Amino acid sequence: MSAVAQDDVQEIHLMPGDLFFGAAPAKVSTLLGSCVSVVLWHPKRRIGGMCHYVLPTGVPRKGAKPGAYADAAIEALFKAVTRAGSRPREYRTTLVGGGHMFPTIQRPDVQEVGERNVAAGETLLKQYGFVISDRDTGGHGHRHVDLDLATGAVHVRFELQPGAARCAAGKGKT
C-alpha cells in the first residue's frame, strides 16, 4: 500500500492483499483483474474503506498481507466498522472486480477465479450484515477503482482485456 498526501488529501493506492479503513479527506484506489474489492462508505460520518483480495479463502503465509483472502479481508473490514462504533447496514457497499483475465485460456480453473471471488464476497458480506448497494463485476478485462471518502463517490473504469473481443467474436464458430 502506498500513501501520498496531496493538498491535505491522503491518497492511498492498494496493492493485492491490502486494505484500508479511514476518514475523509482521503482517496483510495486500486487496479483489479480477477481480484475483488469491497468498497464501504458511511454517508453521515464520511468514513469507509476498501480491500483488494486475491482469492476467496486460504491460509495466510507468514508475512502475508492481511487482505489476501476474501474471508480475512471482509472480517477485517467488519472489525474496523465495529471499532468505529457503526454497523454494517449503515454503509453503502460496492462490490467490484472478478474479471476474466485470460479469455484465450480454456481451463475452467483459470476462468472461474473471478467468479469464485465475487461469489465469496457476496456470501461473506451477507454473513457480516452488509447490504450490497452497487456492483461492477465480471467481464473480460480489468478495472480501476477510486473511492473519495469526502463524497462517497466510487468511480470504476473498465478496460477490455486484449484478445477478449476476438474470443467473444469467435464464440460459436467452428
Query: pLDDT per residue over 15-44, tens digit each?
Result: 999 999 999 999 999 999 999 999 999 999
Q: Which residues contact 133 (CB under 8 A, 6 or more apart)?
A: 92, 93, 94
The answer to whether residues 99 and 33 touch, using CB atoms and an 8 Å cutoff, is yes
For residue 97, what is the domain's CATH number? 3.30.1330.200
- Quick one: which of 73, 55, 63, 71 has its CA closest to 19? 73
Residue 174 forms part of a structural domain: no
Between strands 132-137 and 92-97, the pairing is parallel
| Average of per-residue pLDDT values in the chain | 88
Note down the domain range covering 123. 2-168
Is residue 9 situated within a structural domain? yes
pTM of the predicted model, to two decimals?
A: 0.87
Question: How many structural domains is the chain composed of?
Answer: 1
In a domain, 173, yes or no: no
Q: Grid coordinates standing for 81?
A: 466498522
- Cell numbers for 134, please give them: 452497487
Enter the DSSP assignment of 69: B
Residue 8, domain member (yes or no): yes
3-state helix, strand, coil in the chain (%, to 5): 25, 35, 40
In a domain? residue 68: yes
pLDDT band of 173, cuts 50, 70, 90: very low
Give domain status of residue 98, yes or no: yes
Identify each DSSP E strand in 43-168 by its residue range: 47-51, 92-97, 132-137, 141-148, 154-160
pLDDT tens digits, residue range 131-169?
999 999 999 899 999 999 999 999 999 998 766 554 443
